Amino acid sequence: EAGVAQSPRYKIIEKRQSVAFWCNPISGHATLYWYQQILGQGPKLLIQFQNNGVVDDSQLPKDRFSAERLKGVDSTLKIQPAKLEDSAVYLCASSLEGTSGTEQFFGPGTRLTVL
């Protein structure tokens, strides 16, 4: 079974530039999550999708971050414009459903460096 795929693996940009990350979840997984992991910290949920609808985006900085999951499969997370504090690893995860006991499977992440 193929795992969660993410691209790119690394990205370096200057502040005020825009950047986009892509995630392809495990086939058949209805729920998709984007996490932000700042160096030395645990991941923090940014947004959760159930199929192509948003379930939780309470911790997403909506003035600069946006995400979409068209057709309920792949997802894109965008930052525009980027700030220095956005430097982090962005993890995508998926699960079969969104209930609390369901295992979340994580991708390898995208490491973003903002200069």
Partner 1 sequence: AQTVTQSQPEMSVQEAETVTLSCTYDTSENNYYLFWYKQPPSRQMILVIRQEAYKQQNATENRFSVNFQKAAKSFSLKISDSQLGDTAMYFCAFRETSGSRLTFGEGTQLTVNP
Binding site for partner 1 (CB under 8 A): 3, 31, 40-45, 48, 55-56, 89, 91, 93, 95, 98-104, 106-109, 111
Which DSSP symbol is given to 100? T
Residue 45 or 81: which CB sits closer to partner 1? 45
**CA 49 to CA 115: how far, in whole Å?**
30
**CA 106 to CA 79: how far, in whole Å?**
21
Nearest approach, Cβ of 31 to partner 1 (angstroms)? 7
> Scanning the structure block, which residue is given the tokens 């825009």?
18
**CA 19 to CA 113: how far, in whole Å?**
11
Nearest approach, Cβ of 20 to partner 1 (angstroms)? 19
Nearest approach, Cβ of 12 to partner 1 (angstroms)? 17
The answer to whether 86 and 79 are in contact (CB under 8 A) is yes
> Scanning the structure block, which residue is given the tokens 């379930």?
55
Residue 27 or 99: which CB sits closer to partner 1? 99
Residue 16 or 44: which CB sits closer to partner 1? 44
Nearest approach, Cβ of 91 to partner 1 (angstroms)? 7
